[in-house]
Amino acid sequence: MIFNILYCNNIVDMKIKSLIFVFLFILTGISHCSEPLNQNSLTEIDKSSFIHRKGTELVIGKNDEPIWLKGVCFGNYVWDGAGIPSFHHSVSDYQRVKDMNMNAIRFYLNYSFFFKDNNKKQYSNECWAWLDDNIEMAKQHGIYLILNMHVPPGGFQSNGEGLELWDKKENQDRFKKLWKAIAKKYKNEPVIAGYDILNEPVTSQSIDQWKELAQETVDAIRSEDINHLIIVERLNGIAGKWETYSSINLFLVNDENTMYTFHYYNPIEYTHQNTSWTSFGEGGAYPDRNWLEVPQDATWVARNFNSPYLPVGNSDWTFYKGKQLKITDPTIIAGKPLLVSCKNSGNAYFDDFVVKEFDEKGNFVKNACEINIKPENDWQLWSDDQSGCSVVDKATGHKDSASLMVSDTTGAANCYNNKFRFAVRTNYSYSIEGWMKGERINSDAQCQLGIVFEQSPARRQAMPRDKEYLESELKRFIDFGKTNNVPVYVGEWGLYQDCFSSGKGGESWVSDMLDLFNRYKVHYTYHAYHESAFGIFNNPEGLPDISQANTTLIDLFKKKIPVSD
C-alpha cells in the first residue's frame, strides 16, 4: 500500500515536471516567435515550396519543377490615395482569375496603405490584415501573389512626377524599411511568388540612382528573407524623358534569386490612344502594314528645314518647295513630315504636301509619302514651352475643305503624325514640298515644311505594325534573359478601352501577344483586372460588374492561356 502510494506520488511528480517542461518549452518558443526566424533553419523541403530562379526559369518543389506565371494585375485603386480599397475585388474575383486559366496576380500597393497616420511612422494593422485576407483568398484558389510597390514614398513614378523618391534620402530610407517589414512578416509565406520592388522607376538624374536603390532594397529584404524571389524592373526614364539607354535600361543586381521585369505597351500610340493623361489621339488599328513602327531605341536626330518660310502678314495658298537632304548615317532608319510653326502668334495652314525620295545620283525614285489633310487625321503638336494649339480646320483647305492650322506658339513648335512615317535608305536624299497659307504671321515667326529623321543606334529597322513587329520588340528582353541566364517577366501589358472599339483590332493585338508569350514561355500579368481605363472589368464604382466586363477579352484568355498544371 505504501509502495503504491509512493509510486503514485512519483508518477504525479513526474507528470508535473513534464508539464512544467512542456510549458517552459512552449513559452520559450513563443518568446522566440516575435523575433525573425533563422532562415537557414528551414528544411530543404520548406524552401522548395517557394518559387525560385533556376537559370532562365522559375521552378518550385523538391524536384525543381518549372512553373510558368500567367496572370493579371489587381490595381487596388492605388492612384486614388483613398486608403485600402473596399470595392476593388472580393473572393469571387479570385475564382474568376482562376477560370481564365491564370495562376498569378500582380498585387499593387501604395506605401500609404501601410501607415495609420500622416507622419508615416506607425504601421497599420488594418493593412496587414487586408494583405493576410488576400493571401488566404489566393491560397484557397491556387493563385500566387506578386506584391508590387506601385506608389512608393516620394510619389507615383510612371509620369515622372515622383522625383522626391530620388532627391530625398528619408523617402529612400522609408522605402527600404517598408520592404524589410514586408519581408519579415511574409518570409515564410509561399503563396507570395515574389516582391516586385518598384513600378516603372523614373529617376531625377541617372540610371545609377535606380541601380543603387535597387541593390540596397534587395539587401534590406535579404536581411530578413532569403526565400522569396525578388523582381527588379528596368529604368522607365530619367527626369521625365522616356528614352532607352544601354542594355534596354535593364541591369543585374547582386542576388541569385532575382527575376527582371519590363512592361510591354508597344506600339504606345496604339495601346494608349485617346488616353487623357498622354498626348496621344487616334492611334489607328492593329494590324496595319501601312503604318510603320520604329524600334524602341529610336530618337529624333536630324531635320531638313531647307524650305522657305511663310511671309509676314496674310498670304493665300502658295506652293513651297524644299531642298534635298542626303542621309549618310546608316543608323537613320525613318523619317516623317514636320509642320513647323515657331513663335507664331497668327495662323499657319498646311495642306497637300509630298516627301520625295532620290537615289545616290540624285535621280527621283518615288514619293515617300503623300498627304492631303483629312478631318480624321490626328496630328500631335510639340512645343518647347507648351504653348500653341493645332486643329484640323474643316473650312479652309487647299483643294478641299480641310487643312491643318497651327497658331499662338511662343517658342519652338511643330506638328507630326507617325501614321505618315516612311523608311529611309542610306545615301538617298529627301525633300518636302507642298502648300501653305498665312494669317497675321508676325515678323519673327518661322513657319515652314520640314522633315524629321529618326535614328536607331542599334541599327534596328522600322517595321510594319503587325505580329512580326511585336515579336521583334519582345525578343530584345527575352534575349537579355538568355544572355544573362536570368528569367524575365512582362509585369504589365494591355490596351486602353478604345482599342476594343469596332475596327481597332484590340482582340487581334491581345491574341498575337498571347501567341508570343506561349511560344517563348514568358511570365506575364495583364494590366488590369478592374479599372475604367484598361480594365477587364471597367465599371468605375463598386465591385467588378459582369455586365460591364470585356467578355471578348475574358473568352480570349480562356481560349488562349494554357491550363496550369
Whole-angstrom CA distances from 250 to 216, 238, 438, 480, 549 are 17, 14, 48, 8, 35
CA distances from 234 to 201, 251, 374 (A): 8, 7, 39
Residue 209 CA to residue 118 CA, distance in Å, equals: 27
- Residue 245, pLDDT score: 66
Rg of the chain on CA atoms, in Å: 30
pLDDT one-digit tens code per residue, 243-280: 766 668 999 999 999 999 999 999 999 999 999 998 88
* Distance in angstroms (rounded) separating the CA atoms of residues 116 and 292: 51
Instruction: Report residue 34's pLDDT band, with 50, 70 and 90 as the boundaries.
Output: very low
Q: How far apart are CA 463 and CA 476, in angstroms?
A: 15
How confident is the model over 525-535, as pLDDT tens digits?
Answer: 999 999 999 99
- Look up the pTM and report it: 0.88
Tell me, what's the pLDDT at 168? 95
What does 148-177 look like in DSSP terms, one character per residue? EEEE-TT--TTTT--THHHH-HHHHHHHHH
> What pLDDT score was predicted for residue 279?
81
- Strand pairing partners for 351? 435
Q: What is the pLDDT of residue 6?
A: 31
CB 454 within 8 A of CB 302: no
pLDDT confidence of residue 565 = 61
Phi, psi of 191 (to 5 degrees): -70, -20
Q: Where are the domains of the chain?
A: 70-274+463-560, 299-455
Poorest-confidence range of 16-25, 265-274, 338-347? 16-25
Kindly report, residue by residue over 5-15, the tens digit of the pLDDT.
Answer: 333 333 334 33
**For residue range 92-107, what is the model confidence (pLDDT) as tens digits?**
999 999 999 999 999 9
- Show the 3-state SS of 174-218: HHHHHHHHHHHHHCCCCCEEEEECCCCCEECCCHHHHHHHHHHHH
pLDDT at 41: 43
Q: Quick check: 522 and 490 in contact, CB under 8 A?
A: yes
Handedness of CA 418, 157, 522, 219 (dihedral sign): positive
Higher pLDDT, 458 or 187: 187
Q: Coil, helix or strand for 134? A: helix
Cα torsion angle, 291, 295, 300, 306, sign: negative
> Which band of pLDDT confidence, cut at 50, 70 and 90, is reported for residue 120?
confident
Q: What confidence score (pLDDT) does residue 203 get?
A: 96
Residue-wise pLDDT for 121-176, tens only, equals: 789 899 999 999 999 999 999 999 999 999 999 988 988 888 999 999 999 999 99
CA angle, residues 435, 438, 440, in degrees to nearest 5: 175
- CA separation for the pair 318, 302 (Å, rounded): 26
pLDDT band at 214 (very low <50, low <70, confident <90, very high): very high
Q: What local confidence, expressed as pLDDT, does residue 246 receive?
A: 61
For residues 545 and 554, what is the distance between their CA atoms, to the nearest angstrom? 13
Residue 510 C-alpha cell reads as: 491581345
| Structural contact between residues 130 and 84, judged by C-beta atoms closer than 8 angstroms | yes
pLDDT digits (tens, 9 = 90+) for 307-334: 999 999 999 999 999 999 999 999 999 9
Three cell numbers, residue 531: 479599372
Mean pLDDT of 35-55: 66
Give the H or E element holding residue 288.
strand 288-293
φ and ψ at 208, to 5 degrees?
-60, -30
Residues with Cβ within 8 Å of 375's Cβ and at least 6 positions away in sequence, in order, are 392, 394, 402
Residue 294 has which C-alpha cell?
520604329
Q: Decide if 337 contacts 449 (C-beta within 8 A).
A: yes
Q: Which residue has the higher pLDDT, 306 or 316?
A: 316
pLDDT at 263: 98
- Rounded distance, CA 515 to CA 51, Å? 25
Q: What separation in angstroms does the CA of 350 have from each of 315, 326, 411, 538?
A: 12, 24, 19, 40
Look at residues 297, 292, 279, 524 and name the one whose alpha carbon lies nearest to residue 388.
279
What proportion of the chain, given as a percentage, has pLDDT over 90? 81
Which of 455, 559, 464, 465 shows the shortest CA–CA distance to 515? 559
Tell me the DSSP string of 222-287: HTT-SSSEEEEEPP-EETTB----GGGG----S-SSEEEEEEE--SHHHHTTT-TTSS------SS
Grade residue 296 by pLDDT with cuts at 50, 70 and 90.
Answer: confident
The reply to whether omega before 395 is within 30° of 0 (cis) is no
Q: In whole numbers, what is the pLDDT of the chain averaged over residues?
A: 91
For the residues 518-526, what does the mean pLDDT come to? 98
Which residue(s) pair with 563 in the sheet? none
What ranges make up the beta strands (E) of 360-516? 364-371, 380-383, 389-393, 403-407, 413-416, 422-423, 429-441, 446-455, 463-465, 488-493
Q: What is the pLDDT of residues 363-415, one digit of tens each?
A: 999 999 999 999 887 899 999 999 999 999 999 999 999 999 999 999 999 99
Position with higher pLDDT, 79 vs 470: 470
In CATH, which of 3.40.120.10, 1.10.8.50, 3.20.20.80, 2.30.29.30 is domain 70-274+463-560?
A: 3.20.20.80
